[in-house]
């Protein structure tokens, strides 16, 4: 934060973290590249800990003691940094090297063990209370706890707890509680952006918490909510750029280039193709070589004449650009073509999965710039395609159904 010349405080525009994007991409995609999943070689120590059979290391404390004696002891929960890896295990190594990584087999067994699941939910409730939040139902909805004011103030000032929240969200998804993540993230975004009770957490919430959610639609809902309430609005850098409405985009469009106007004018005067393929194909077989020559010559002359007429019309149109009525009609035709290209581009973009790191909805820092470049080039590509199509029709002279032997003869 710094001050401008008139004394008002300005905030620097935030930057995306490529490390965060890469880390959460691997998590959402089940660690696709490298992951050495020791499926049957691990001794199920995370599950055994939650079954109260072994203590967590290096402290030597059992899960029952943590849930009963550490609950409400905020000093211990704040300053001890070895328990969190055991309470919320992941398929990646944490800071406590005594804690073992989860395996897919262990996850399957953990979900089947009611005793472990019950204690896991109690551990989640304990940590929520530590942050000033309470779990209010079985679907994962949360609300302010009785001690929220004191705990929110502490949470706003202790940023190392943001790493703990990220770990908790990841672990919820690994152990069968993916649906609990979205309500918690929505609550944190509301408190940070709307209520302004924990403003320091908003960067971590948008950079990490949102992107732990594997459901793309849920992520987009959260990003839209955050974009509505983020201030200053032009500093919001997460997710795709806001799309303009169709009417607004038409009024704000730049004047079409002379090339696109020329192409739209040609397409306007272009003769529609006659549905003569069926009859022509049947009669052409009985025609002699001389008849085909005469017909081919006649078609070429007609197309040459059409091309000359189109060129003359285009010249006259360019000479009359100062006429406002003509300009308006040509611009509207160009806008229709640009709108068609926009719709084609939107449909092609919607087919791509955002789960690719470079195409994810805001996962990669360069995504927004690439989308803008693609949109900018789409109208030029459409104009080029129309011109190529016109050239092919003119050169073929309506004889595209005839084969090369007929042309040679």
Q: Residue 3's Cα: distance from chain center in Å?
A: 34
Whole-number pLDDT of residue 12: 81
pLDDT greater at residue 310 or residue 148: 148
The two structure tokens encoding residue 35: 């992951």
Mean pLDDT of the chain: 73
Contact 189, 222 (CB under 8 A): yes
Distances in Å between the Cα of 157 and the Cα atoms of 42, 153, 199 are: 38, 7, 10
Q: Which of 396 and 157 is assigned the larger pLDDT?
A: 157
CA 139 to each of CA 116, 178, 179: distance values in angstroms, whole numbers, following the listed order: 19, 10, 7
Percent of the chain with pLDDT over 90: 48
Q: What's the pLDDT band for 47 if we cut at 50, 70, 90? A: very high
When pLDDT is cut at 50, 70 and 90, the band that residue 327 belongs to is: very low
Instruction: For residues 69 and 64, give the distance between their C-alpha atoms in angstroms, rounded to a whole number.
Output: 8
Instruction: Give the per-residue pLDDT at 243.
Output: 55
Lowest mean pLDDT among 48-62, 156-170, 283-297, 385-399: 385-399
pLDDT of amino acid 354: 45
Q: Distance of alpha carbon 342 from its chain centroid, rounded? A: 18
The closest alpha carbon to 317, from 260, 362, 274, 383, belongs to: 260
pLDDT tens column, 210-236: 999 999 999 999 999 999 999 999 999
Least confident segment among 84-98, 296-310, 314-328: 314-328
pLDDT(403) > 90: no
- 2 has a pLDDT exceeding 70: no
Q: Is the pTM of this model over 0.85?
A: no
Contact by Cβ (8 Å): 170, 185: no
pLDDT digits (tens, 9 = 90+) for 331-364: 444 444 444 444 444 444 444 444 444 444 444 4
Q: Which pairs from 350-355 meet CB under 8 Å and 24+ separation?
A: 353/216, 354/216, 355/25, 355/28, 355/29, 355/216
285 contact partners, CB below 8 Å, separation of at least 6: none
pLDDT at 375 over 70: no
Q: Which residue has the higher pLDDT, 124 or 244?
A: 124
- Amino acid 64: pLDDT: 97
Please say whether the beta carbons of 122 and 60 come within 8 A: no
| Mean pLDDT of all residues in 25-53 | 80
The gap between the terminal CA atoms of the chain, to the nearest Å, is 80
Cis? peptide before 58, omega within 30° of 0: yes
d(CA 225, CA 117): 32
Q: How confident is the model at residue 38 (pLDDT cuts 50, 70, 90)?
A: low
Flag whether pLDDT at 377 surpasses 80: no
The answer to whether residue 272 scores a pLDDT higher than 90 is: no
**Can you tell me whether residue 53 is helix, strand or coil?**
coil
- Give residue-wise pLDDT tens across range 137-176: 999 999 999 999 999 999 999 999 999 999 999 999 999 9
Where do we find the tokens 């960067």?
203
- Which band of pLDDT confidence, cut at 50, 70 and 90, is reported for residue 63? very high
Confidence of residue 95 (pLDDT cuts 50, 70, 90): confident
């Amino acid at each position: 934060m710094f001050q401008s010349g008139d004394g008002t405080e300005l905030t620097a525009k935030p930057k995306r973290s490529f490390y965060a994007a890469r880390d959460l991409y691997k998590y959402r995609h089940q660690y696709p590249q490298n992951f050495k999943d020791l499926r049957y070689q691990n001794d199920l120590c995370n599950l055994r800990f939650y079954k109260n059979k072994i203590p967590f290391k290096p402290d030597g404390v059992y899960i029952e003691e943590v849930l009963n004696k550490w609950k409400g002891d905020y000093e211990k929960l704040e300053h001890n940094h070895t328990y969190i890896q055991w309470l919320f295990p992941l398929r990646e190594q944490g800071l406590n090297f005594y804690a073992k990584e989860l395996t897919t087999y262990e996850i399957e067994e953990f979900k089947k063990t009611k005793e472990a699941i019950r204690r896991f939910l109690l551990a989640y409730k304990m940590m929520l209370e530590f942050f000033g939040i309470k779990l209010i139902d079985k679907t994962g909805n949360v609300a302010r706890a009785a001690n929220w004011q004191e705990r929110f103030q502490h949470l706003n000032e202790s940023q190392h707890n943001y790493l703990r929240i990220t770990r908790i969200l990841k672990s919820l998804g690994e152990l069968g509680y993916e649906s609990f993540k979205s309500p918690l993230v929505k609550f944190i975004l509301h408190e940070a952006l709307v209520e302004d009770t924990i403003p320091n957490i908003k960067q971590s919430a948008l950079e990490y918490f949102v992107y732990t959610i594997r459901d793309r639609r849920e992520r987009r809902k959260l990003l839209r909510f955050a974009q509505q309430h983020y201030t200053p609005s032009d500093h919001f850098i997460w997710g795709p750029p806001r799309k303009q409405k169709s009417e607004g985009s038409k009024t704000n469009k730049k004047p079409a280039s002379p090339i696109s106007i020329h192409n739209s004018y040609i397409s306007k005067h272009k003769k529609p193709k006659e549905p003569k393929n069926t009859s022509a194909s049947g009669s052409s077989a009985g025609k002699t070589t001389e008849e085909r020559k005469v017909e081919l010559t006649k078609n070429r002359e007609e197309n040459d004449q059409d091309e000359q007429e189109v060129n003359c019309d285009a010249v006259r149109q360019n000479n009359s650009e100062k006429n406002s009525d003509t300009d308006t009609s040509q611009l509207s035709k160009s806008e229709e073509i640009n709108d068609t290209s926009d719709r084609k581009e939107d449909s092609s973009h919607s087919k791509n999965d955002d789960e690719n790191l470079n195409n994810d909805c805001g996962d990669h820092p360069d995504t927004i710039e690439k989308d803008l470049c693609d949109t900018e080039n789409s109208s030029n590509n459409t104009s080029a395609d129309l011109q190529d199509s016109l050239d092919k029709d003119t050169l073929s002279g309506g004889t595209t159904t005839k084969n090369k032997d007929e042309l040679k003869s």
